Structures are given as structure tokens and as C-alpha cells.
Structure 1
Amino acid sequence: MARHSYACPIRWADMDVYGVVNNVSFLRYLEEARVDFVFRMAPTEGDAFFRDGSVVVRHEIRYRRQLVHRHAPVEIEMWVSELQSATVTIDYEVKDGDTVYATASTVMAPFDYGRGRPRRLTDAETGFFEKYLEEAGPGR
């Protein structure tokens, strides 16, 4: 199956007092990568998953190596590890080649903000995520 790759810039403000990327910055990196990934669903009109609403249900991050500031972006590779009728789990590797800085997963659910409740994935959303579905990746 396919994987999506995002080149994420490292900003000076992402550093902590010890000179490494702060753990909170990793969540921002994952969010940037996830938005880049999901906007491929319907790039000309915006996508249903964000337009119609979605929420993060859970994040898990396993830090493997320290990441320091540099001018080159870090690669975030992602894929879908689980797809249910009302949730999608996206797995990630934050890496440079064979060097993995973190592995992570995010569970998201489509959400109807007008009604204030969860909703089911549409057929179009399911079809999009199925293209990236594979077994759970490293660290899961």
C-alpha cells in the first residue's frame, strides 16, 4: 500500500533549553504532516474530513532519538494502520533515512460540529484512507 511523506521544517523556536526539539513540537510536526496528508483527499475543494469536521481521539508518541535544529527538514512518513466505520488510525515515523527519531500514532474520528456528535466515515473518506491502509508499523 501507499505511504505519504512530508518534509517538515525544524524551527529554532522548536528547541528546548537543552538544544533539542521539545516533545510538544513533535505533536505540531505530526499535525502539519497529517493536514498535508488529508488535504490530498480533495485538494481543489478542501476535504470532507476537515470540512465536515473531525477530532483527535488519542495520540501516542515514542521518542527514540534526540532531534536537534538543522536547516534540512525531517521526513515524516505516514500510513493508515486501522480503519473502522467511525475512526481512522494514522501511524508515523519521524526520520532521516534509517535514523528514526520518533514513532507515533493518532486516532481520529469524523465529527459533526453542527449536531455536536461523532459521525461515521463517508464512502469517499473510507476510499481515500483505504489506499494507505497497511499493518501497524514500528513501535505499535
Structure 2
Amino acid sequence: MARHVYACPLRWADMDAYGHVNNVVFLRYLEEARIDFLFRPDKDFQQGSVVARHEIDYKRQLVHRHAPVAIELWVTRIRAASFTLAYEVKDEDVVYVRASTVIVPFDFEAQRPRRITAEEKEFLQEYRDDSDPEALAA
């Protein structure tokens, strides 16, 4: 099982009045990691997808710094017309956030959800790990 790792830069605008990354900003961090994972030149969801659900478990405050934070991403569930991604926003020894997102492949031309293609399923299977009891199951 592989995990996709995204080095997410922290920005001054991400901070709240207390000097740590605002909780709402983590949704954008997850989006950046998800886009980096799904939309690559060699593998992507060309037909599009939409988010059906997010679940976030905040573990520790992340204080702004110049170094990026790592976001590890993997697949926990694959269904006919949806899949679930799990994330950890972390440094080597500290987890700041655990989260999950349910993604629905979407046909924007027809304006309706669609089934996962065989190629997409094969790609997702490379990152599948449903054994982690700490991962949030959406």
C-alpha cells in the first residue's frame, strides 16, 4: 500500500489571531493534497469529481512556520460510484489533523454522478488501505 505525500506550504494568511493555522484553512490544505493526488499528468479523474462529505478530527494546533507540513493521503474505501480518502496532516512525530473525504465521480456535461471507471479503480487500488483503525470512516 502506498500513500501519496503532499508538502503543503503554510501562508501568513492561514493564521488566526492566536498565531496558529485556522481550523477552516485545513479544508483548503486537504483540497490541495487531493488535487495533487487526483490530477496528475499520468493518472487523473478527467471527467471530474465532487466532494460529498468531509470529516475532520483536530488533534493539535499547527503554528505557522516557513517549512511546509506533510499531508499523507490514502484510499480507505472504493465503491461503484464513490471512494473515500483518508488524510493525516503531520510532521514526522506529530499529527495535527486526521480527516476523511467522500468523493463522487461526476459527469459535468450530463450534470449527474457517474460510476468509477476501471482505470480509475485500478489507480485508487494502488493507494488502498482500509486496515488503519485510526482513519476516519465516512
* Counterpart Cα distance in 1 of 2:99 and 2:81: 20
- The worse-fitting range, judged by mean Cα deviation, of 58-67 and 129-138 is 129-138
Percentage of identical aligned residues = 62
> Deviation digits for residues 52-98 of structure 1, max 9, x if unmatched?
12100000000000001101100000100000110010000000012
User: Does structure 1 residue 132 correspond to structure 2 residue 108?
Assistant: no
* Counterpart Cα distance in 1 of 2:48 and 2:9: 27
Are the equivalent residues in 1 in contact too, given 2:100–2:135 (CA < 8 A)? no
> Deviation digits for residues 5-59 of structure 1, max 9, x if unmatched?
011000000001111101111000000011111123xx15x73x1x312100000
Q: Which structure features the higher share of helix residues?
A: 1
Gaps of 5+ in 1: none
The amino acid that maps onto 2:95 is V
User: Does structure 1 residue 22 correspond to structure 2 residue 22?
Assistant: yes
Are the equivalent residues in 1 in contact too, given 2:86–2:135 (CA < 8 A)? no
2:105 maps to what in 1? 110
TM-score in terms of structure 2 length? 0.93
Q: Aligned-residue CA RMSD in angstroms?
A: 1.3
1:72 maps to what in 2? 67
Alignment coverage as a number of residue pairs: 135
| Runs of 4+ with >6 A deviation | none
TM-score in terms of structure 1 length? 0.92
Are the equivalent residues in 2 in contact too, given 1:87–1:109 (CA < 8 A)? yes
Instruction: Tell me the secondary structure at the aligned position of residue 23 of structure 1.
Output: coil
Gaps of 5+ in 2: none
The amino acid that maps onto 2:28 is R
Identify if the C-alpha distance between structure 1 residues 109 and 136 changes in structure 2 by more than 3 Å, giving closer, same or farther. farther
* Counterpart Cα distance in 1 of 2:17 and 2:131: 34
